[in-house]
Amino acid sequence: MGGGGAFSVACTAQMQIFIQTLVTGIVTGCLYALIALGYSMVYGVLKLLNFAHGDLYMVGAFIGYFAIQWFGGATALIIPVPLLIIFMMVVAGLGVGALGVAIERFAYRPLRNAPRIAPLITALGISFILEDSVLLLFGGFTRNYNAPAFLPFRQSIHIDGVNIWSVQIIVVVVSVVMMFGLRELVNRTLFGKSMRAVASDREAAEMLGVNVDRTIAMTFFIGSAMAGVAGVMSGLAFGQISNIIGFLAGLKAFTAAVVGGIGSIPGAMIGGLVIGLCESFSSSYISSQYSDLIVFALLIATMLVRPQGVFGQPPLQKV
């Protein structure tokens, strides 16, 4: 009997670690998926690798941080927590969305017919400017949302020794809602139709009366807004933010988009989850040092086996 009991305890401890890792992976994955969606949408309509997208996520995280400061700071909030969270997400969504539209208008629109490399280089330039502008304005040190101060771990759900923090639930719920909202938007609305039309052939869409400029601007808005919200949620869930978090997050989100097949919405979701899980499992079971390397290796392997991603269609080339 005693031996059996010890065995079951050991088993649960392992299970706990496993489930905890799983939850972290899902939360990270949802965030990657949100960023990946924006990446994927922009790539869909413009065939542009928007390297600045990850930095928009970083800007979103900063907006959320300053919203907390505005309302008295993490330890002395002057408004109810749910209201604060909604406020942060709305402001970050709108602000980053607007920023995305401004970037498109200012930097990418003049280059619609330029050689492919031009907007790519511009995107790198924008990424530089965003990162260093934030550095200039707010300094390079790491800031902390300190979310546990107003959303205590005590409010977690405890199941059989596994703790699921309320913030983690918020992240998953908000992400899922946004993704389904986006899917409905793309599949059901006129905007969605225009977007798909522009993605498949911009000139033809224009001739058929689709307002291409507005569709592209709208795409940037939605994609950037999702990155902004993802920034806020990552601040809540992981705390630390700085001006350089965007590049790597953007890179991994793009991995997610590519693994899932670029241009595909469910692909981006699944890709995000895969990357998130991969990262959390490799850092808790193999080595946190190597987790980035493992994710990179995963990407490279996927791309080599299926260059168009798991869910993507191979491009048609007619001769």
d(CA 143, CA 137): 14
d(CA 134, CA 209): 40
| Smaller CB separation from another protein, 46 or 167 | 46
d(CA 222, CA 27): 21
- Examine residue 121 and tell whether it contacts another protein (CB under 8 A): yes
| Smaller CB separation from another protein, 153 or 290 | 290
- Please report how close the Cβ of residue 131 comes to another protein at its closest, in angstroms: 8
- Please report how close the Cβ of residue 276 comes to another protein at its closest, in angstroms: 17
Site map 286..305 versus another protein, x via CB under 8 A? ---xx-xx--xx-xx--xx-
How many beta carbons lie within 10 A of that of residue 309, not counting itself? 23
Binding residue for another protein, selected from 8, 69, 79, 106, defined by CB under 8 A = 106
Binding residue for another protein, selected from 126, 151, 226, 275, defined by CB under 8 A = 126
Helix ranges (DSSP H) in the chain: 2-46, 53-70, 81-103, 117-138, 166-188, 190-200, 202-207, 212-238, 245-260, 265-281, 291-305
- Please report how close the Cβ of residue 99 comes to another protein at its closest, in angstroms: 10
d(CA 274, CA 58): 22
Contacts of 298 (CB under 8 A, 6+ apart): 255, 259, 274, 275, 278
Whose tokens are 């922009």? That residue is 42
Instruction: Name the E strands within the chain.
Output: 143-144, 157-159, 162-164, 240-241
Whose tokens are 């981006």? That residue is 268
Q: How many residues make contact with another protein (CB under 8 A)?
A: 48
Tell me which residues in 233-272 interact with another protein (CB under 8 A): 247, 251, 254-255, 258
| Smaller CB separation from another protein, 48 or 151 | 48
Site map 32..61 versus another protein, x via CB under 8 A? -----------x---x-x------------
Binding residue for another protein, selected from 28, 40, 50, 122, defined by CB under 8 A = 122
- Please report how close the Cβ of residue 48 comes to another protein at its closest, in angstroms: 9
Residues found in the chain: 319
Whose tokens are 């496993």? That residue is 18
Binding residue for another protein, selected from 127, 194, 242, 280, defined by CB under 8 A = 127
**What is the contact surface with another protein in residues (CB under 8 A)?**
43, 47, 49, 102, 105-107, 110-111, 114-122, 124-129, 131-133, 135-137, 247, 251, 254-255, 258, 289-290, 292-293, 296-297, 299-300, 303-304, 307, 317, 319
